[in-house]
Structure 1
Amino acid sequence: MTIPTSVPDYSRIYEFIHRYDPDFVQRTLHAADMALEGKQILSGTRGQWLYVGNPPHWHDNKVNNNGYVWMLNRMNHWLILAEAYLLTGERKYIDQVLVELLDWIESCPPPPLPNNLKPASPGEGPIEPLSANLEPVRKQYTSVNPWRQLEVGERMGNVWPAVLRIMDGIPGMLDAARPKILQSIRDHGLVLREVCPLFWPEANHNYYLTEMWGLFSIGLTFPELAEAKEWGEFARQELERCMFSQFSANGGQLEGCPSYHNYTSVHMGKVGLLARKHGIAMSDAFVERFRGAMEYCVQTCRPTGQIVPWGDSNADHYAAMTTALGSIYLGDPRPAKQLISLMGVDTFRKNIIPLLLDYPEILDLVDIPDTGPTSVGETAPEFSRTFWDREMDQAAMRSDWSKEAFSVFFACRSPIYNGHSHADPAAFDFVALGRPLVIDPGRYNYWWLEERRKFKSAAWHNTLTVNGHEPFEFISSFEYGPQKPGRIEYVIDQEDWLRASAVHHNYEPAVHRRDLVLFPGRCLLVLDEVSGLSAQDTVQLNWHLDTIRSAWDPEQQTVVTVGNEVNVAIRTAGRTVTGAAGEASISDKADHLRPSTRYTMLDGGGGGGVRRYATVIVPFRGELQSEQLEGLKVEDDEGQSVCRFRLNNVSYEVFFNLGETSRTLG
């Protein structure tokens, strides 16, 4: 077996780790020691260590969660054990990996390949089945077992080559095991090459991208396999197709979830770097689409540097890894430096450490002073204040590129792309003064339990509902009923204001139009217009606040958060509404919850036709004085509906219909 023997300069990596994240060693060794005891944290263990077996019981679903089996069989803990070996030199860690590897091969033989397939040559597209009945094949490779197709790709792209390279550097360690390991790698390659293309003829799913990344890795990393050359070329062509089937013209991964965008973009970055290492050129169009993916990654980060947790996403700093790989592949440091300016160089450095063993050149990228553009108003000219992905009906607007910026992410895509989306047309995520304020709550997990339903519901997002109903039916964790059209109609950037508009028809005959108007450094104005209502219809304005303390002022129709360094006031006018607080939760990462607060402003009905609401969202430090925000009202002005208010002695006049352009009056 020809496993690459080129070894990075680990001494430089160790020095970097000890300097910038000294706790990383302790965390890694603790997780590695737990793995030696047969304990892991996996999907469904709710963030707790659980005994999974020693060696792991690869088939057992100990927590009745499908993700548990799948994540266990990705073997990500092997990377932790390998890191522990490199950090300490103690053989027990890497020896455990080999023990488990051989046990897995023995315990998890590959299922028999279907015998009714017609192989395809490079350039001919995916394999064509001889039989139209693919259900037995689909059931075998999509069920809860160690050979589910996605795990096959994950293992071959992200885990096995990395740990085998380290083992190959230990004299004699793999001598007896090489033939058995190589045969298992070939078994993986056969599944990826002959089975996976059956399921994704359009190359339009992130599973297929991961699977082809795994096949590409096999083809280039193990050239002694007879099929390696053909596999590598086939995978390269399919990965090109994945880029154009799965990423929009603006660069966003079409599921519309920033976390999944980052995962798939990391894979594409690895593809590009592995291809370059072996003298293979990806197409110019591939490179340009990937460049767009880097901008989408940056634009879908909050000013805090966290990913906006839209859909099934985490509010984490994973974008550091995305932009680090992307910057070294493109030879363009701007995406990474823009993220550094938001999250800070220390956070960036800590989050790219898992890449260093394979991509030590990233160290050059972060060898910069511990400063960056952080003051209010300081901008980064490389990226625009507005971003609009028309294919995904997502928009981002921010006052500037500082950590203190006022920033809003806004989306209205209906019908949705797939079940990773949530039922939240015309919702948004708002951050200001360095703190998430009116936010998307995240995903929690994928179990079809009450928590999952809440996290996906419109009521838990910053959007409007009619009669307390969801915009479309929930069927299961990843499936909805039919949906009506919804879209972002425009995004405009003027010097003093930014504006985006969305409309959707999921409450027909009622139609909801929402405009967001961002006044940099001052406030966010939300204009809602609902037409086609009957007199009996009720309307709810839902707000999810990143706080546990708040107060409702019924006279001012205002909710104010209290007790935080940065607070927010939300005031609504246009109809008489009553406010009710409810407990809620935020999930910054899978399987983790923290408390938050939801507010529902209820319009109890009594008027048919068109109803309009104007809501001003004002971030502030200290205390908000009553005279700071006053005079909020919705009026008719010569047949046009207009919102007027005063904020800090400045008068604002904004028309609901952009045909009468917004005006700010001093």
Structure 2
Amino acid sequence: MTDLLFFSSDLRRPWGARFERMFPAEAQAAIEEANRLCVSDFNGFHMGQPINWLYNPTGDKEFTWGINRFKHLRQLGIAYAVTGHEKYASAALEHIEGWIQTQPCPRHLPAEELLYFQQPGPWRLLETGLRLRQWVYAYHFFQSSARWTPSFEQCFFHSIKEHADFLYDFKASIEINHSIMHMIGLLSAALTFETWEDSEKWRQDACARLEQCMRAQVLDDGAHSELTPHYHMVSLELFVDCAVMLKKRGYRFSGFFDDRIYRMVSFSRCMTRIDGKMAPFADSNAKDAPDLNAAALYFERPEWMLREALHEQFWTVGPDRIQSFLTSDQANLKESHPPVPFAFPSAGYYGMGNERQKLIFDAAALGGPHGHADALSFEYGAFGKTLFVDPGVYTYMETPWRRYFKSTSAHNTVLVDGQDQTPYLRTQSWGTPEARVKVIAWNPESQMICAEHDGYRIRGVTHRRTVWFPDTGEWIIYDWLTGTGTHTYQHRLHSPLLEWEVSKLSGQAGRFLAQGSGLRDDAEEIGCDLLLFGPASMKLDIEDGWESHRTKSKLPLKVVQGLVRADTPVWFITVIRPSGAKEKLTPEAWTLQAGDPDGPPVLRHSTGDAHQEYRMITNS
């Protein structure tokens, strides 16, 4: 048995050469980043020489946490493996040694302070676990380099043990994904340094707690309990990485654990936009497709492969495994999008549509600190383009932008009296009462869902929304707001279509046709026709909005807003059709009929002698 889990020093250069041949762009990018790191340049900020690990030029504590996770060692390791230049090993080991000398373990602090999940500084349990994981990889990359002296090794091994003991002794709640990050570090050390005296107890403890995390955090349908696609993916990747490492040493998690991983993969594959990128509900972004490569390798499912990210698995499984994966018969099959409709009822996410159109409906609970006030919102796309979007996350810092991106106003739902569905307190804290969501009806055969939330109960208002996707290819979204009192209602839809023409149509009710075009950053002639019905006093306007695909970066949107101040109950009916379809939306085919006494109206669609009616479900 050897204290090496991934690769030995004699494989470093041969693997580096194969990495450069297989992934030349990624190899070059790693070398360029490593050159910056050699002069203490972290993301454009000079961190001093030696590095000051507590210096924060941004004011955002995420920056300090980030650099103290030592993820940057991977770039230095790749550059060293590819080129053989000792300067990269020297820089990496100087970073590690300098950190050890200046950041003593704070065991003298009270346990409640050490366990606080927002604790500032480099020894927060999350950073401790993720740093230990990266140091284990650094051991594989730099062991036997010129800078790896006996005295450094002694210092390094002492700190590895100190990190592992710290994670073993101080155990945070298993209810949040941080605990997975704590345990992946402990498991990495236990499995790599398997001959050490304490490694077996570290392994047993990490495995037991990871099993507990899986049971506590992952819902029966496979969604992570935080109900945030991004953090679902983070948790999935960590769980799979732990399973992969364990398998390398001849161990396995329980069958339950593997089954939950598989269900998590299913959720990840469904929760994608029509263009394949991740749907950015709650604190998520839509910049990339979900990277399921680790799970694809673990379960032998090459059709799940995301080729542009496969290099990330190279140093874990090795070049032969990557090459065989790339050349397998299934690898060249184009994986179709998971079928719609789909339902994840434990999570509260539902999908509708066909191969050309897709809508993901949010009937989820708030989900905790990373949630947004977005009950009954949705994302919709057609012909490979997203036409109505969730805003994503712009920043975690407590700024007006943080509040905006989490607000009801920034989502595709109805805003009442300008207030959030759940009161916002600060960046990762919500007030009470929290909006509660209830699914009234779900019919996958006819592609219909109806749900309601009571987030405005202190204002005397309940919001119910029904969505249909009939065979005719339109989408019907029916909003019914019941209760008491006079309120201001804003029916808001956020679109990257930046040019809108609005026409008020005749009729007793408010009736508008809005035609969107000018898809942002896209020359394709695709647009959307939108027919909006509402009370006679309803106005329709277009205003500016924003979405974010990456931190501190905003992209412009247009918000199509139906606005009315009226006595409750109030209703809105929206008919949507992408204008890239062969048939355009025909406004005259859609009319309103009287409903039940004191009930909402009925929408009728007529084609020749055929009629189809859409009624709001009014019972509970």
State the TM-score, normalizing by the size of structure 1.
0.84
Query: Is 1:40 paired with 2:42?
Result: yes
Query: Is 1:108 paired with 2:103?
Result: yes
In structure 2, the CA distance between the partners of 1:456 and 1:584, relative to structure 1 (3 Å rule), is same
Q: Deviations over 1:481-522 (max 9, x none)?
A: 11142133443222xx41222111111221111112124682
Instruction: Please say if residues 480 and 571 of structure 2, whose CA atoms lie closer than 8 Å, have aligned partners that are also in contact.
Output: yes
In structure 2, the CA distance between the partners of 1:531 and 1:394, relative to structure 1 (3 Å rule), is same
Which residue among 279, 284, 306 is the counterpart of 2:277?
306
Percent identical residues? 21
In structure 2, the CA distance between the partners of 1:548 and 1:25, relative to structure 1 (3 Å rule), is farther
Q: Which amino acid aligns with 1:225?
A: W
Which residue among 601, 605, 614 is the counterpart of 1:645?
605
Which residue among 117, 120, 127 is the counterpart of 1:144?
120
Secondary structure at the residue paired with 1:177?
A: helix
Which residue among 305, 326, 329 is the counterpart of 1:366?
326
* Structure 2 residues without counterparts, runs of 5 or longer: 506-510
* d(CA) in 1 for partners of 2:590, 2:363: 27
* d(CA) in 1 for partners of 2:143, 2:470: 58
The within-5 A match list for 1:338-377 is: 339=304, 348-360=306-318, 361-367=321-327, 372-373=333-334
Instruction: Please say if residues 221 and 344 of structure 2, whose CA atoms lie closer than 8 Å, have aligned partners that are also in contact.
Output: yes
Secondary structure at the residue paired with 1:358?
A: helix
Partner of 1:45: none
* d(CA) in 1 for partners of 2:373, 2:267: 22
Q: Deviations over 1:434-487 (max 9, x none)?
A: 001101010011011111111001111000111222112110001111114213
Secondary structure at the residue paired with 1:537?
A: strand
In structure 2, the CA distance between the partners of 1:17 and 1:6, relative to structure 1 (3 Å rule), is closer
In structure 2, the CA distance between the partners of 1:410 and 1:13, relative to structure 1 (3 Å rule), is farther
Which residue among 367, 375, 378 is the counterpart of 1:417?
367
Instruction: Please say if residues 317 and 351 of structure 1, whose CA atoms lie closer than 8 Å, have aligned partners that are also in contact.
Output: no
Which residue among 466, 470, 485 is the counterpart of 1:515?
466
Q: Which amino acid aligns with 2:94?
A: V
Q: Which amino acid aligns with 1:182?
A: F
Q: Which amino acid aligns with 2:93?
A: L
Secondary structure at the residue paired with 1:220?
A: helix
Partner of 2:62: 67
Which residue among 143, 166, 185 is the counterpart of 2:141?
166
Q: Which amino acid aligns with 1:241?
A: Q
Q: Which amino acid aligns with 1:573?
A: F
Partner of 1:343: none
* d(CA) in 1 for partners of 2:428, 2:608: 46
Partner of 2:94: 99
In structure 2, the CA distance between the partners of 1:96 and 1:457, relative to structure 1 (3 Å rule), is same
Which residue among 476, 497, 500 is the counterpart of 2:449?
500
* d(CA) in 1 for partners of 2:610, 2:87: 68
* d(CA) in 2 for partners of 1:520, 1:235: 51
State the number of aligned residues. Answer: 598
* d(CA) in 2 for partners of 1:389, 1:553: 38
Secondary structure at the residue paired with 2:617?
A: coil
In structure 2, the CA distance between the partners of 1:603 and 1:648, relative to structure 1 (3 Å rule), is farther
Instruction: Please say if residues 3 and 168 of structure 1, whose CA atoms lie closer than 8 Å, have aligned partners that are also in contact.
Output: no
State the TM-score, normalizing by the size of structure 2.
0.90
**Which moved further from structure 2: 143-152 or 580-589?**
580-589
Which residue among 603, 613, 633 is the counterpart of 2:572?
613
In structure 2, the CA distance between the partners of 1:73 and 1:207, relative to structure 1 (3 Å rule), is same
In structure 2, the CA distance between the partners of 1:175 and 1:633, relative to structure 1 (3 Å rule), is farther
Q: Which amino acid aligns with 1:326?
A: A
In structure 2, the CA distance between the partners of 1:520 and 1:91, relative to structure 1 (3 Å rule), is farther
Partner of 2:591: 633
Q: Deviations over 1:124-173 (max 9, x none)?
A: xxxxxxxxx8544445x74221111100011122x111121011254773
Q: Which amino acid aligns with 1:161?
A: V
- The structural deviation recorded for 1:430 is 0.8
Instruction: Please say if residues 568 and 617 of structure 1, whose CA atoms lie closer than 8 Å, have aligned partners that are also in contact.
Output: yes
* d(CA) in 2 for partners of 1:5, 1:266: 17
Instruction: Please say if residues 219 and 228 of structure 1, whose CA atoms lie closer than 8 Å, have aligned partners that are also in contact.
Output: yes
Q: Which amino acid aligns with 2:227?
A: G
* d(CA) in 1 for partners of 2:561, 2:119: 41
In structure 2, the CA distance between the partners of 1:177 and 1:516, relative to structure 1 (3 Å rule), is same
Partner of 1:52: 47
Instruction: Please say if residues 406 and 430 of structure 1, whose CA atoms lie closer than 8 Å, have aligned partners that are also in contact.
Output: yes
* d(CA) in 1 for partners of 2:111, 2:211: 25
Instruction: Please say if residues 629 and 645 of structure 1, whose CA atoms lie closer than 8 Å, have aligned partners that are also in contact.
Output: no
In structure 2, the CA distance between the partners of 1:87 and 1:560, relative to structure 1 (3 Å rule), is farther
Partner of 2:287: 316
* d(CA) in 2 for partners of 1:14, 1:246: 41
- The structural deviation recorded for 1:102 is 0.6
- The structural deviation recorded for 1:537 is 1.6
Query: Is 1:6 paired with 2:1?
Result: no
* d(CA) in 2 for partners of 1:152, 1:515: 46
Instruction: Please say if residues 613 and 634 of structure 1, whose CA atoms lie closer than 8 Å, have aligned partners that are also in contact.
Output: no
Instruction: Please say if residues 5 and 165 of structure 1, whose CA atoms lie closer than 8 Å, have aligned partners that are also in contact.
Output: yes
- The structural deviation recorded for 1:645 is 3.1
Q: Which amino acid aligns with 2:46?
A: Y
Q: Deviations over 1:532-553 (max 9, x none)?
A: 142x222111111123332322
The within-5 A match list for 1:483-632 is: 483-494=434-445, 497-508=446-457, 509-519=460-470, 522-534=473-485, 536-555=486-505, 557-564=512-519, 565=524, 566-576=526-536, 577-605=538-566, 607-608=567-568, 610-621=569-580, 628-632=586-590
The within-5 A match list for 1:391-540 is: 391-400=346-355, 405-414=356-365, 416-482=366-432, 483-494=434-445, 497-508=446-457, 509-519=460-470, 522-534=473-485, 536-540=486-490
Q: Which amino acid aligns with 1:560?
A: Q
Q: Which amino acid aligns with 2:354?
A: S
Secondary structure at the residue paired with 2:66?
A: helix
In structure 2, the CA distance between the partners of 1:65 and 1:172, relative to structure 1 (3 Å rule), is closer
Partner of 2:156: 181
Q: Which amino acid aligns with 1:616?
A: V
In structure 2, the CA distance between the partners of 1:658 and 1:431, relative to structure 1 (3 Å rule), is farther
* Structure 1 residues without counterparts, runs of 5 or longer: 42-48, 115-132, 341-347, 661-666
Q: Which amino acid aligns with 1:393?
A: G
* d(CA) in 2 for partners of 1:504, 1:240: 34
Give the alignment's Cα RMSD to 1 decimal: 2.8
Query: Is 1:238 paired with 2:214?
Result: no
Partner of 1:289: 260
* d(CA) in 1 for partners of 2:472, 2:326: 30
In structure 2, the CA distance between the partners of 1:515 and 1:64, relative to structure 1 (3 Å rule), is same
Instruction: Please say if residues 220 and 278 of structure 1, whose CA atoms lie closer than 8 Å, have aligned partners that are also in contact.
Output: yes
* d(CA) in 1 for partners of 2:15, 2:594: 67
Q: Deviations over 1:235-272 (max 9, x none)?
A: 10110010010100011111011111111100100111
Secondary structure at the residue paired with 1:296?
A: helix
Q: Deviations over 1:567-587 (max 9, x none)?
A: 112221142421222222211
Instruction: Please say if residues 15 and 81 of structure 2, whose CA atoms lie closer than 8 Å, have aligned partners that are also in contact.
Output: no
Q: Which amino acid aligns with 2:143?
A: D
In structure 2, the CA distance between the partners of 1:409 and 1:55, relative to structure 1 (3 Å rule), is farther
Instruction: Please say if residues 3 and 165 of structure 1, whose CA atoms lie closer than 8 Å, have aligned partners that are also in contact.
Output: yes
In structure 2, the CA distance between the partners of 1:467 and 1:4, relative to structure 1 (3 Å rule), is closer
Instruction: Please say if residues 168 and 174 of structure 1, whose CA atoms lie closer than 8 Å, have aligned partners that are also in contact.
Output: no
- The structural deviation recorded for 1:194 is 0.8
* d(CA) in 1 for partners of 2:340, 2:397: 37
In structure 2, the CA distance between the partners of 1:491 and 1:87, relative to structure 1 (3 Å rule), is farther
* d(CA) in 2 for partners of 1:411, 1:31: 39
Instruction: Please say if residues 501 and 513 of structure 1, whose CA atoms lie closer than 8 Å, have aligned partners that are also in contact.
Output: yes
* d(CA) in 1 for partners of 2:98, 2:609: 72
In structure 2, the CA distance between the partners of 1:33 and 1:16, relative to structure 1 (3 Å rule), is closer
Partner of 1:84: 79
